[in-house]
Amino acid sequence: MQIADNSVVSFHYTLTDDQGQVLDSSEGREPLTYLHGTGQIVPGLEKMMTGRAAGDKFNADVAPAEGYGEHHPELMQELPREAFQGVEDIQPGMQFQGHGPQGVINVTVTKVDGDKVHIDGNHPLAGQALHFAIEVTDVRAATDEELAHGHVHGPGGHHH
């Protein structure tokens, strides 16, 4: 069966950056499983998965616009430490949820300078090309229940 909309797809992957550094991998874990055509993986990879079948191995290079988006400088801000009430030890790398014009936004602390906290609302991989090594392990038709719920269910179904 070829990958198409409403297919349940399982695949192993290794994601690297432009320097070849491994950013993420399914090695040693179960394959990633998703419902194709519903935006559950980055758009560029989903496009390159279309038409593939179980057993296919390929490399996929995804530009930032088709991955986690371009880097937007306006999503970087400097806030007063008081904005983080209840958090005594703020460190770079910490993540918080905030509210922006588009709703909830995840931000990462990039720098703490005295009473100033620098945050970045961009996805950590925004602006980066993504390089995937893919091995498709399984493709099947989604069940009616999976289609109705918009996500894959495990063995024996899914209970909400």
Sign of CA dihedral 32, 33, 39, 45: positive
Q: Which span out of 55-59, 75-79, 122-126, 140-144 was modeled with the highest average pLDDT? A: 55-59
The pTM for the full model equals: 0.81
Per-residue pLDDT tens over the stretch 59-116? 999 999 999 999 999 999 999 999 998 898 999 999 998 777 778 889 999 999 999 9
Between CA 36 and CA 1 the distance in angstroms is 13
What number is the average pLDDT over the span 131-156?
Answer: 90
Which CATH architecture describes the domain 73-120? Beta Barrel (2.40)
Per-residue pLDDT tens over the stretch 21-45? 999 999 999 999 999 999 999 999 9
Sketch the domain layout of the chain as residue ranges. Answer: 7-68+126-149, 73-120
Q: What's the CATH code, domain 7-68+126-149?
A: 3.10.50.40
Between CA 80 and CA 135 the distance in angstroms is 46
Res 154 pLDDT > 80: no
Smallest Cα–Cα separation from 8: which of 139, 129, 122, 134?
A: 139
| Burial of 63 per CB tally in 10 Å (0-12, 13-18, 19+) | exposed
What number is the average pLDDT over the span 140-148?
Answer: 93
Q: To the nearest 10°, report the CA torsion of 152, 99, 73, 68.
A: 0
Query: What confidence score (pLDDT) does residue 155 get?
Result: 60
Going through 5-122 in order, the beta strands assigned E by DSSP cover: 7-16, 22-25, 32-35, 57-62, 76-80, 95-100, 103-113, 116-120
